[in-house]
Amino acid sequence: MTETARIVASHGKSYIIECAGGKRLRASTRGKKTDYSCGDLVDIQILNDEQAVIERVLERKTLLYRSDAWKSKLIAANVTQLIIVVASEPSFSTELISRCAIAAEAGGIQTLICLNKCDLPSATAAKERLQYFVNLGYKLIEISALENIAPLRDSLAGHISVLVGQSGMGKSTITNALLPDANARVNEISVALDSGKHTTTNATFYHLDTESALIDSPGLQSFGLAHITAQDLPAYFPELKERIGTCRFHNCRHRQEPACGMRAGVEEGTISPQRLALLHRLQDELSSGSRY
């Protein structure tokens, strides 16, 4: 019997799928196929009361992934919102924020930056660092997951959101505050996936209500963008996008070329030199195929 289900947890070649009625089954794939992601809608063949086989993936509305020259890592499928979690401390990487936001833009996903641990004195400095992104037009929400999760909960309504961030920013604390029984569910899922072995799940999908869901992903340190071409990059920077077509040369790399619209923006003060430098760095990285 074939039916459509959603992948709610992934771990290597093992998956947990949720059928339309809510029943969860362990699922494997045909052959060596592993390019399925948490959040995917898939056609499955039910084998017995506990197991199913994934036959194929249905067309994805969106796909968030990171990649280097050698391999890509799917993070979440069919999400409408990427939540980049940063915290007052430990320190976060602004480059990682930019990279995540570029991947989201390329994948047709909206971005929300969430500053956690606003109860700490170091929040003031963190907010100053994030002002840079606010000026670029990104939405910022400030919370303390330990004290009050309500402001974030409001931003999740109607979305399938995915949480990404470096280790220690508070993703687990946020998930637990939003879903008090998430811990129990996570344990249930990891036990089902690897019979109690100590391994981490790639990503987990939780229902918040009938319209909203949340995918929690493991901490990340880097975010390779090898799937994006150097030529397309400016379209994923909000402030550079506006100036596409203003350079004299259609293949301008926005460096030494005369009459470059992007460099003109830097001279006028509407584009920050750091962002143009990031564009150059990413162009070099994507054309040389270096590893990130």
Distance CA 70, CA 14 (A): 22
Q: How many residues bind ligand GTP (CB under 6 A)?
A: 16
252 binds, among ligand GTP, Zn ion, none (CB under 5 to 8 A by kind): Zn ion
262 binds, among Zn ion, ligand GTP, none (CB under 5 to 8 A by kind): Zn ion
Distance CA 20, CA 90 (A): 41
The identity of residue 126, as a single letter, is A
* Interaction of residue 178 with ligand GTP, rule CB under 6 A: no
219 binds, among ligand GTP, Zn ion, none (CB under 5 to 8 A by kind): ligand GTP
Q: Which of 167, 199, 222, 290 binds ligand GTP (CB under 6 A)?
A: 167
Shortest Å distance, C-beta 93 to ligand GTP = 14
Residue 162 or 247 having the CB closest to Zn ion: 247
Integer-rounded Cα Rg, in Å, for the chain is 20
116 binds, among Zn ion, ligand GTP, none (CB under 5 to 8 A by kind): ligand GTP
Q: Which two tokens stand for residue 154?
A: 């409001």
Q: Could you say which residues in the range 118-157 bind ligand GTP, by CB under 6 A?
A: 119-120, 144-146
Residue 214: Cβ within 10 Å count: 25
b (16+ CB within 10 A) / e for 260-272? bbbbebbeeeebe
Strand partners, 6: 18, 41
Q: Which of 81, 111, 116, 161 binds ligand GTP (CB under 6 A)?
A: 116
Residue 230: Cβ within 10 Å count: 17
247 binds, among Zn ion, ligand GTP, none (CB under 5 to 8 A by kind): Zn ion
Residue 246, CB half-sphere, CA atoms under 13 Å: how many? 14
Give the binding site for Zn ion (CB under 5 A): 247, 252, 254, 260, 262
Residue 66 or 117 having the CB closest to ligand GTP: 117
Q: Taking contact as CB under 6 A, which single stretch among the options 151-159, 161-169, 185-193, 252-260 is the one that binds ligand GTP? A: 161-169
The identity of residue 164, as a single letter, is V
69, 74, 79, 82: CA torsion to nearest 10: -60
Binding site for ligand GTP (CB under 6 A): 116-117, 119-120, 144-146, 165, 167-173, 219
